[in-house]
Structure 1
Amino acid sequence: MSSTAAIVGGKWTLLVIRDLAAGCCRFCELERSLEGISPRTLSLRLRFLEDEGIVRRTGGDYELTDKGEALAPLIESMRDYGAKYLCP
């Protein structure tokens, strides 16, 4: 579990994965979707996720690998938890 947390626990990381799963695929789309993220931080997160085999870059587009897609249920569970216990 600590290995997974080390990968997805970085600031912005889960949000980048969420947006890629939702269909954002270009750097500029991700940057617009993630209000407040700097271009440098986004670039570093994408490079880290590429190195971990979670994201693949093809031309100017980014997409989740099978390994990245396997994180979708985790993100959905976190969304459900937040809706149930954190949002009034």
Structure 2
Amino acid sequence: MRYAYNVYEDRCPTRLVLDRLADKWALLILDRLEDGPVRFNHLRRDIKAISQKVLSQTLKKLERDGLVTRTVYPTVPVTVEYALTPLGRALAETAAALTHWAEHNMDAILAAQAAYDAAVMER
């Protein structure tokens, strides 16, 4: 099957999307939004070690890519909620598969790393 874009070409715009998907924060945000809209501060509490600045920047990039919507409610203080778009929902399934694959296979990865490190030390 041929596509209009070729990810192997250096100037292909798909590379920008792949950069976004290679970002751990973007994957975690997409996965967290899969259950429905979430407020900014709730995302910040749920995703440990993400700074307010990085969360804000990542959400803006995801919004620009059409993956996330931002809704502002005129409350005091202002309430902001983020949700997946239909395009984002389709991607969130893949993001969830990646993030949870890591969880399920971490023991095997740690064992492989230890074996590799031991072999390197023997050289």
TM-score by length of 1: 0.83
Can you give the 5+ residue segments of structure 1 that lack an aligned partner in the other structure?
none
Q: Contact 1:31–1:37 (CA<8 Å) still a contact in 2?
A: yes
Give the Cα separation in 2 of the matches to 1:12 and 1:74: 15
| Identity within the alignment, % | 32
Which residue matches 1:66? 86
Which residue matches 2:26? 13
* Residue of 43, 51, 55 corresponding to 1:42: 55
Give the Cα separation in 2 of the matches to 1:79 and 1:41: 19
TM-score by length of 2: 0.62
Q: 1:77 to 1:11 in 2, by over 3 A?
A: closer
**3-state DSSP class of the match of 2:34?**
helix
Runs of 4+ off more than 2 Å:
1-4, 79-82, 85-88
Give the Cα separation in 1 of the matches to 2:69 and 2:100: 27
Q: Which has the higher contact order (CA 8 A, sep 6+)?
A: 1
Q: Contact 1:17–1:64 (CA<8 Å) still a contact in 2?
A: yes
Q: Contact 1:24–1:30 (CA<8 Å) still a contact in 2?
A: no
Q: What do you get for the CA RMSD once the two structures are aligned?
A: 1.9
**Bigger CA radius of gyration:** 2
Instruction: Give the aligned length.
Output: 87
